[in-house]
Amino acid sequence: MCGISAIASHKPVAEALLQGLRNLEYRGYDSCGMALQGVKGLEVRKNIGAVDEVDQAERFAEMQGHSGIAHTRWATHGEVTRFNSHPHLSNNGNFAIVHNGILSNYQEIKAQLMAKGFQFLSQTDTEVFANLLEDAYGQSKSVEQAFCSALRQVKGSYAIAMISQHEPGRIYGVKKDSPLVVGLSDGTNYLSSDINAFLGATRDTLLLEDHEYVVLEQDQVWVKSVATGELVPKQVIRVQWDRQAAQRGGFSHYMLKEIFDQPQTVKQTLAIDEAEINAIAQKFLAHPRNFSVGVGTTYFVAMVGCYLFKRYADLYVPAVSSDEFPRLVPGGADMHVLFFSQSGETYDTRMAIQAAKESGGATSAVVNVVGSSISRAVDTCIFQGSGPEICVVSTKAALSQIVILWQIALAVGRAKGCLTAQEQARVKGKLGEFADTLEQLLNEESGNVRHLAAQTKAVPNWLFMGKDIYYPIALESALKMKEVTYLHAEGLPAGFLKHGTLAMVDESLYSLFFLPHPSEHDLFRSSLNAMEEVKARRGKVITFCHPDNHEALRLADHYFYLPDLGPEAHPLMQLVLAQLFSYYSALQLGLNIDKPRNLAKSVTVG
Amino acid sequence: MKAVILAAGNSTRLAPFSDSRPKSMILISGELILERVLKQVREAGISEVCVVVGPKGEQIEEAFHFGKALGLKLSYQRQEAATGIGQALSLAQGFVGQDPEFLLLFGDCLASGNNVTHLLQQAQGRPRQNLAMITHPHLEGAYGNIYLGHDMKIQRLVEKPLVGERHSNYILGGSFLLQTPVFQTLAALHLDMVALYQDLISKGELEASLWEDEWIDISRPWHILDANRMIMSTWQQSIIPASAEIDPGVHLQGPVHLGEKVRISAGATLVGPCYIGDNCFIGHSTLIRDHSSIGPGSVIGYGTEVKNSVLFGHSTVGRLSYIGDSVIGEAAHLGSGAMTVNTNYCDQVFNLSLPEGEVNTGRTKLGAFLGDRCIIGAGHILKPGTLVAPGSVWPDHFTNPPAT
């Protein structure tokens, strides 16, 4: 895939073309180049590398001219070399071409042209077309006729943009099977592989069909048929979508895309090399005092860890919020701190690392971004490999961190002798089973979650409750809800309710209960008690359970379905469904899901 | 690119309306269903459209001719018998011709926004692919059957989910971008559309485009009310043409769309969103409540209340009547004092006994559904869920004089 951008304007176009290239860079980036029609004739600059690298070497912005073509390449024919990068000039330098696609009969045309004395600098099919134009122009002395005659000779798929010394200020374009769109604005017209290239400038477009060519000037655009040369009437279409829509891969928001990414990212984290997990586990064993530290969502990840270390390694590893850590925890060489950060740049966490290191403590981290400050600052680091998370609200990165932490807790338990190898393998297998089932669960439950969110969108106050490991899951879910819906959602331990918060409960208050697996018998019973307390005050109850769980269903006004995968996967599935519930609640409220107000992805300030 | 719209379906489940008109010729919120679909196609930049029509297809041809009024180039193919979607699609092969890909739309699916643009947007800048719009079903409990992967590939389609089995929540939304070679595949699969889906899915060649706004597949008469509500809910502004005659003392509230030469008499209250078509007469002291769509040329008599109802047009509703949660076909006549009863006072969902068995309507408010050209005489009280065949005549209802 390659990207074409071309502009004819009453203003100099070099800067705008460069911006177009940047916007198209996701289409390919092994080399790029530009050709402008300036006062001194056609000037071409091109080189190998990403757009900004090439710009540093070639300084595109210095180029002069009011019309030009640009190209970012992802090689299909010929190696990645400067000669093979676009634009290509014809032998006499009068025609400059950029091209996507493949001209299937270029070898045979090349042979004919070589017989006529043309020379070729590159191995590309594009240069063949440039010289074919020059040859045709020699016969007709009309650029337009030459363009059409050349097009009638080539076969294959293509989108082409061309400028010529003979007609300064004009751009020719044509498409067949490869995309090309025209953008229209006052005094400037655009031609591009997709609208991303000019979306900042205009939303008015003409869509070209195959075998139609377009002639662009700064004030005028003609679309004609290659076969007949007759004008084709076109309607101006105003595009509604934004630049990122194409990159969201069909999902309307990154948040939903990233929720759907989770089955994959969990599988990736389960495939992390055991040596990496064990390296961190060893640190837990080597130090008498251990802490796990994060802030915001990552703090709740650390809290999940508290319960896991207790469960598998009989170890108390306090979770501390990064911003409080330096003031709360006395330092020392007997201390090991495990840090969590998605971006690896979180200010509060960096400060906590600094405090831990200065006191002589050992540090390790789980981070998503390779090469980030935190990954470089700590002694040992695991990269979670969850892929870029673009939605400000973290979903897949948080879940992956929990799954990594789960493996660390298992490894510590194993090394301490609290756990047999079989048990460790069984639990890991359960997590794998969770990843395998997750996609199906998302498919089967999303509609129900959406329907419920539509019914409850006007509810301003929520309690999210759970016990044991379900408590930090409730906290994290409440944070998600707050972040995307701006509604008040309070996470609290279910046992806490009757010691105060119960006073709030009436028929207008909704509670979301994160219920343990029925096999966790005592925990399950005491969670049900809390549900009873809410129900008795006519509060509304929503919970997660299997439909055979009649005790839970009896108390619930609504429920989300959970398959029965045992106690390990139980909290994780609820976390994912709660993410989905926050997503659909925000969607119903018409909010800016991927960029909630007042929030930034990476909080790098104190 | 060209578009193929399938509007040949027999849709017997939409009786009494489907008895006298193709489904796509139902007028909702001031637009025929097909008109709305065609406008979306044009908005997406497509001008050549082939509509595959079925029995009564001449109504469609008469309404849209060659598409000039909509800025389209329309052609038609006729499917003589109800021989399936695959066969209907195959009729458009010649129309699509050498184009590498085409748009396929089912003419009975409505979305709250332009799902055609949405679909094309996803195709933009990517290698050619078969794309299917998928969505959540509009009714709770109506099960879907599409399983979606994280990469937006459709993983499987469960054609007939078993009762009691867990199902996906996604369904096919009746909009596709297909590569032209599917015509050959379809022919090889004996024109079986489901087999074509399965074939594409098994080869990993069917990608999904997720539609997250509202969407409705109109298959039952009361779905017309859902669709009407869905469309009107997007209205933000009122439209009142200069030719509308509005008496003093008329109260308008919310987005109200009036047609040309509408006349609204004193004392009437119109609560938006609502639509009153061209040349309608709204009598004194009437109450037109939100989500009502009154088609062109209708007369609403003195003191009548219309609530959450759709009238196709050219109908007369006599004085002091009540039309609630109902759909009234074209050129119907309701005498004075005709009442639709739309509630059962206990908030229970209505189940209707239809020829094919008990049907859950999913609605706690359900009025009457009167086919085209019905005449319901004065003084009738219609019970919830009454379906009246087109052209039926119910004589006026009189109270007999007491025996002397």
Residues A231 and A308 in one domain: no
Q: How far is B316 from chain A (nearest CA, A)?
A: 37
Chain A nearest CA to B118, separation (Å): 8
Residue B43 distance to chain A (closest CA, Å): 7
Q: Where is A438: in which H helix or E strand?
A: helix A421-456
Q: Do A250 and B150 touch (CB under 8 A)?
A: no
Q: Where are the domains of chain B?
A: 2-219, 245-394
pLDDT of residue B139: 72
Q: Is residue A429 part of a domain?
A: no
Q: Tell me the C-alpha distance between A92 and A118, whole Å.
A: 10
Which of B128, B169, B172 to mutate to probe the A interface, most A CBs <10 Å?
B169
Is there a single domain that holds both residue A374 and residue A256? yes
Residues 6+ away with beta carbon under 8 Å from B359: B220, B351, B352, B353
Do residue A175 and residue A195 come from a single domain? yes
**Which among A193, A445, A448, A446 has a CA at the least distance from the CA of B210?**
A446
- Nearest alpha-carbon partner for B217 in B33, B92, B353, B55: B33
Residues of chain B with Cβ-Cβ distance to A27 below 8 Å are 125
Chain B residues within 8 A of A440 when measuring between CB atoms: 147, 168
Q: Pick from A193, A239, A447: which is nearest to B169 by CB?
A: A447
User: Minimal Cα–Cα distance from A347 to chain B, Å?
Assistant: 32
Are A235 and B71 within 8 A, CB to CB?
A: yes
The per-residue pLDDT for B251 is: 96
pLDDT at B42: 93
Per-residue model confidence (pLDDT) at position B167: 76
Of A370, A307, A308, give the one whose Cα is nearest residue A341: A370
Q: Which residues of B touch A (CB under 8 A)?
A: 1, 42-45, 47, 71, 99-100, 114, 117, 121-122, 124-128, 136-137, 140, 144, 146-152, 155, 166-170, 207-210, 212
Give A-chain residues touching B43 at CB under 8 angstroms: 237
Q: Name residue B146's beta-bridge partners.
A: B157, B170
Q: Both A241 and A320 in a single domain? A: no
pLDDT value of residue A129 = 93
pLDDT tens string B65-105: 999 999 999 999 999 888 889 999 999 999 999 999 999 99
Which residue in B has a C-alpha nearest to residue A208's C-alpha?
B1
Classified as helix, coil or strand, A240 is coil
pLDDT tens per residue across span A73-85: 866 556 778 888 8
Whether the per-residue pLDDT at A555 is higher than 80: the answer is yes
Give the C-alpha separation, A258 to A265, whole Å.
Answer: 9
pLDDT of residue A366 exceeding 90? yes
Q: How far is CA A413 from CA A24, A340, A423, A572, B294, in A?
A: 50, 20, 10, 21, 72
Rounded Cα distance, A567 and A548, in Å: 16
pLDDT at A243 over 60: no
**For chain A, what is the mean pLDDT?**
88
Mean pLDDT in residue range A369-388? 79
What's the pLDDT score for residue A24? 77
Is the Cβ–Cβ distance between A63 and A43 less than 8 Å? Answer: yes
With CB atoms and an 8 Å threshold, state whether B210 touches A250: yes
- Roughly what angle, to the nearest 10 degrees, separates helices A421-456 and A254-270? 170
* Chain A hits for B125, Cβ within 8 Å: 1, 27, 179, 193-194, 196, 246
Q: What pLDDT score was predicted for residue A251?
A: 80
Are A447 and B124 in contact (CB < 8 Å)?
A: no
Give domain status of residue A544, yes or no. yes
Compute CA A302 distance to the chain's CA centroid, rounded to the nearest angstrom.
Answer: 24
Q: Number of A to B CB contacts under 8 A, please give it.
A: 91
pLDDT of residue B346: 83
Nearest-angstrom CA–CA distance, B326 and A268: 54
pLDDT digits (tens, 9 = 90+) for B208-266: 888 988 899 888 999 999 999 999 999 999 999 999 999 999 999 999 999 999 999 99
Average pLDDT in the A517-526 region? 90
The whole-number pLDDT of residue A606 equals: 53
Pair A490, A501 in one domain:
yes
Q: Is A461 exposed, middle or buried (0-12, 13-18, 19+ CB in 10 A)?
A: middle
Contacts of B212 in chain A (CB under 8 A): 252, 256, 587
pLDDT (tens digit per residue) in B281-320 = 999 999 999 999 999 999 999 999 999 999 999 999 999 9
Q: Is residue A606 part of a domain?
A: no
pLDDT at B125 over 60: no
H/E element, A558? strand A558-561
pLDDT tens figures, B129-188? 899 999 988 776 566 688 888 778 888 888 777 766 777 788 899 999 999 999 999 999
Q: Which two tokens stand for residue A16?
A: 């705008």
Range of the domain at A554: 442-601
Query: Between chains, do B170 and A446 touch, taking CB under 8 Å as contact?
Result: yes
Q: What is the per-residue pLDDT for A28?
A: 58
Query: Does residue A430 sit within a domain?
Result: no
Q: Quick one: pLDDT at residue A76?
A: 54
Q: Residue A529: how many CB atoms within 10 A of its CB?
A: 13
Cβ contacts of A209 on chain B, cutoff 8 Å: 1
Alpha-helical (H) ranges within A314-388 are 325-328, 347-358, 373-377
Among the partner residues A210, A443, A450, nearest to B148 by beta-carbon distance: A443
What value of ipTM does the predicted structure carry?
A: 0.71
**How far apart (Å, rounded) are the C-alpha atoms in residues A296 and B87?**
57
The span from the CA of B73 to the CA of B79, in Å, is 20
* Residues of A with Cβ-Cβ distance to B122 under 8 angstroms: 245-246, 250
- One domain, residues A45 and A153: yes
Q: Is the model more confident about A548 or about A215? A: A215
Looking at beta carbons, which residues of chain B come within 8 Å of A261? 150
Average pLDDT, integer, range A9-36: 84
Is pLDDT above 90 for A409?
yes
CB contact under 8 A, B124 and A561: no
For the record, the structure tokens of A57 come out as: 């070497």
Range B245-394: architecture per CATH: 3 Solenoid (2.160)
Of B1, B42, B212, the CB nearest to A587: B212
Amino acid of residue A302: A
Q: Name the residue with tokens 């709770």.
A: B140
> CA–CA separation, A446 vs A46, rounded Å?
48
Do the chains contact at B207 and A179, CB–CB below 8 Å? no
Q: How far apart, in whole angstroms, are the C-alpha atoms of residue B29 and residue B232?
A: 7
A95: tokens are 């025609």
Lowest mean pLDDT, pick from A393-397, A403-407, B192-196, B382-386: A393-397
pLDDT tens digits, residue range A440-495? 888 888 888 888 898 898 899 999 999 999 999 999 999 999 999 999 999 999 99
Range in A109-113, B106-110, B162-166, B247-251 the model is least confident about: B162-166
Q: B44, A237: Cβ pair inside 8 Å?
A: yes
- Say if the Cβ atoms of B150 and A264 lie within 8 Å: yes
pLDDT confidence tier of residue A29, bands split at 50, 70 and 90? low
User: Last residue of some domain: A248, A263, A292?
Assistant: A248
Examine the domain organization and report whether A314 and A350 are in the same domain.
yes
Q: How confident is the model at residue B11 (pLDDT cuts 50, 70, 90)?
A: confident
User: With an 8 Å Cβ cutoff, are B149 and A439 in contact?
Assistant: yes
Q: A314: number of CA atoms within 13 Å, CB side?
A: 6
| Same domain for A240 and A254 | no
Same domain assignment for residues A473 and A395 = no
Q: Which helix (H) or strand (E) holds A290?
A: strand A289-294
Q: Determine the pLDDT at residue A235.
A: 80
CATH class for the region spanning B2-219: alpha beta
Contact by Cβ (8 Å): B168, B158: yes
What's the confidence (pLDDT) of residue B336?
A: 95
Domain end marker among A214, A248, A282: A248
Task: Express each pLDDT in A200-229 by its tens digit.
Answer: 788 788 888 888 999 999 999 999 999 888
pLDDT, averaged across chain B: 91
In a domain, A558, yes or no: yes
Q: Where are the beta strands (DSSP E) in A299-430?
A: 319-321, 335-341, 362-367, 380-383
Q: Which residue of chain B has the CA closest to A196?
A: B125
User: Do residue B170 and residue A448 have CB atoms under 8 angstroms apart?
Assistant: no
Which residues of chain A does B126 touch, with a Cβ-Cβ cutoff of 8 Å? 246
Put simply, the answer to whether B136 touches A450 (Cβ < 8 Å) is: yes
Q: What pLDDT score does B71 carry?
A: 92
Question: Strands B130-135, B171-179: parallel, antiparallel or unpaired by DSSP?
Answer: antiparallel
Which phi and psi angles does A394 have, rounded to 5°? -80, 130
Active-site annotation holds for A601: yes
| Contact between residue B7 and residue B23 where contact means Cβ atoms under 8 Å apart | yes
Does A427 fall in a domain?
A: no
User: pLDDT grade, residue B280 (50/70/90)?
Assistant: very high
Whether the predicted pLDDT of A302 surpasses 70: yes
Of A248, A266, A289, which marks where a domain is finished? A248
Task: Read off the pLDDT of each residue in A572-587 and give the average, rounded to a whole number.
Answer: 94
User: pLDDT grade, residue A304 (50/70/90)?
Assistant: very high
Count of helices and strands (H, E) across chain A: 17, 24
CATH of the domain at A370: 3.40.50.10490
pLDDT for residue B17 is more than 90: yes
User: On the CB side of B199, how many CA atoms lie within 13 Å of its CA?
Assistant: 16
Whether cis (ω within 30° of 0) applies to the bond prior to B16 is: yes
Q: What is the mean pLDDT of residues B373-402?
A: 93
- Looking at the fold, whether A355 and A482 belong to one and the same domain comes out as no
Distance CA A234, CA B95 (A): 20
Rounded distance between C-alpha atoms, residue A3 and residue A159, angstroms = 10
A229 in the same domain as A258:
no
Q: Give the C-alpha distances (Å, rounded to integers) separating A39 from A59, A162, A168, B62.
A: 18, 17, 9, 59
How many domains does one find in chain A? 3
Distances (CA, A) of A198 to A68, A84, A188, A191, A388: 14, 26, 11, 9, 25
> DSSP readout, A108-140?
HHHHHHHHTT---SSS-HHHHHHHHHHHHHHHH
A396 to chain B, closest Cα gap in Å: 12
Q: Is pLDDT at A245 greater than 60 in this prediction?
A: no
Q: How far is A531 from chain B (nearest CA, A)?
A: 26
**Is A176 marked active-site?**
no
**Same domain? A222 vs A346:** no
Cα-Cα-Cα-Cα dihedral of A490, A492, A495, A496, to 10°? -70
